[in-house]
Structure formats: C-alpha cells, structure tokens
Amino acid sequence: MSIQKKEDATYELIISTAKNLFFKEGKFNATTQEIADAAGVNRTLINYYFRSRDALFDLIFEEGKKEDERRQEMIVLSDLPIREKLEMFIDYFLSQAKMYPYREVYMLTQIIKDDCCIYDKKEHVKRMSEKFYVELEQEMEKGTIQKMKPIQFMLNFISMLIFPVIMRPFLQNNFELDDKEYDKLLAGRREVILKTIFRNREESNLDSL
C-alpha cells in the first residue's frame, strides 16, 4: 500500500508545497495542477502518492489537528505558573502565525466543509485540563484574574490572541493600516493580552504599544 523505498523526497515536497499554498498564500481551493506546478512535479504524482486530491487535503488537515493538539498539551502539561504558561503559548502561536498566517482559517474552512472534526483528546490531557481549570480558579480566588467560568477565560484568551491573526486581511483594511503598521500591532498583542487578563500587576502604561 504505502510507497517508501527511496527517500520519498517528492512525497514530502508535495506536502510542503501544498501546505505553503494553503497556509501561506491562502489558496484554499488550489487544484492539483496548481499544486503540482508550484512543486515543479507532474500532476499525476499527486495521485501516485496520495491516491486523490481529497486524500492530500485530508492528510494536511490531520497534520494540522495534531499540531493543534500539541499546542493544547503545551499549555496544560507544562509545570509552570499560569501566567508563564500563557506567555509561552502566546509566543509560540505568534511565531507560528508569522510563518503560516492562513493556517487557522484553512483549518476552519475544512471543518466547515466536512462538518465534522472529532478531536479525540488523550485521557491524560483531559485530566491535566481539569487540573489547569482548577489552577485558574485558584488565581481567580487570589484576584489575579477576573472571576468567571474557566472556559470563558480561555475563550477570552485565545480570542484575543488568534482573532487578530486570522482576520488580518479584514482588519487591516478596515482599520486602514499598512503591513508594517499591522505587524507592529500584532507585536504589541502579547503585552496587551496579558495586561487585559491579569489584574494584580502594576498598572504600567501601554500607550507605546
């Protein structure tokens, strides 16, 4: 079934080319011909290595899901204080977003298209998520963060982080900003988000961001 005698450089080339088209250029509906051209290979090699166009799309989507899981595990499995967990997550996400600005939108459109996306979290991740929620509630008791359902807190957090990235084309036009200005805006997100979410720190002025 699987073809892997030689180094399957072509196989990997096709995948990474497709990923670039999807995640970097936003060509969510690229044809096999377009992908092949971009990779500089014959179109039918896509059928040879992946059976069908759909199979290639699915493969990339599944890889994306695994990356999502890794992210989630990163935030709940690490043994750091809440704030540092979140900081780590922000930094990681923003750096990834620089590389693959359309990644999240692609994942979303795929989910919408198939109308199915079962993330089967591993048991230990579920357990750690519960623990993470308890930690959050402790912070709320301390007054470090505003009291609310932990899931609402998480929604706030990822919304403020991810939305400005995935809606960039929309927002940049709407706010009438050029590329450089928007990059600066994104760079400022880290501090803004932390400032918005945590309350006990000194009220430093964020005007310069």
Partner DNA sequence: TTTATGTTTGACAAAATTGTCAAATGCAAA
Partner DNA sequence: TTTGCATTTGACAATTTTGTCAAACATAAA
Q: Which residues bind a copy of itself (CB under 8 A)?
A: 26, 28-29, 68, 72, 102, 104-105, 107-109, 111-113, 115, 117-119, 121, 146-149, 151-152, 155-156, 158-160, 162-164, 166-167, 169-171, 173-176, 185, 188-189, 192-193, 195-197, 203, 205-207, 209
- What single-letter DSSP state applies at residue 135? H
CB 102 within 8 A of CB 23: yes
Question: From the CB of 197, what's the least distance to a copy of itself, in Å?
Answer: 8
Residue 31 contacts which entry, DNA, a copy of itself, none (Cβ below 5-8 A, type-dependent): DNA
The angle formed by the CA atoms of residues 206, 208 and 209, to the nearest 5 degrees, is 75
The residue to which tokens 């961001």 are assigned? 209
By CB under 7 A, name the one of 16, 44, 138, 152 that touches DNA: 44
Question: From the CB of 103, what's the least distance to DNA, in Å?
Answer: 21
Residue 189 contacts which entry, a copy of itself, DNA, none (Cβ below 5-8 A, type-dependent): a copy of itself
CB 71 within 8 A of CB 93: yes
CB 144 within 8 A of CB 194: no
**Stretch of 3-11, 72-80, 181-189, 199-207 contacting DNA, by CB under 7 A:** 3-11
Between CA 98 and CA 125 the distance in angstroms is 27
Residue 169 contacts which entry, a copy of itself, DNA, none (Cβ below 5-8 A, type-dependent): a copy of itself
Between CA 14 and CA 36 the distance in angstroms is 7
Question: From the CB of 208, what's the least distance to a copy of itself, in Å?
Answer: 8
Q: Residue 109 interacts with DNA (CB under 7 A)?
A: no
Question: From the CB of 35, what's the least distance to DNA, in Å?
Answer: 8
Question: From the CB of 32, what's the least distance to DNA, in Å?
Answer: 4
Instruction: Specify the residue, 6 or 180, whose C-beta has the smaller distance to DNA.
Output: 6
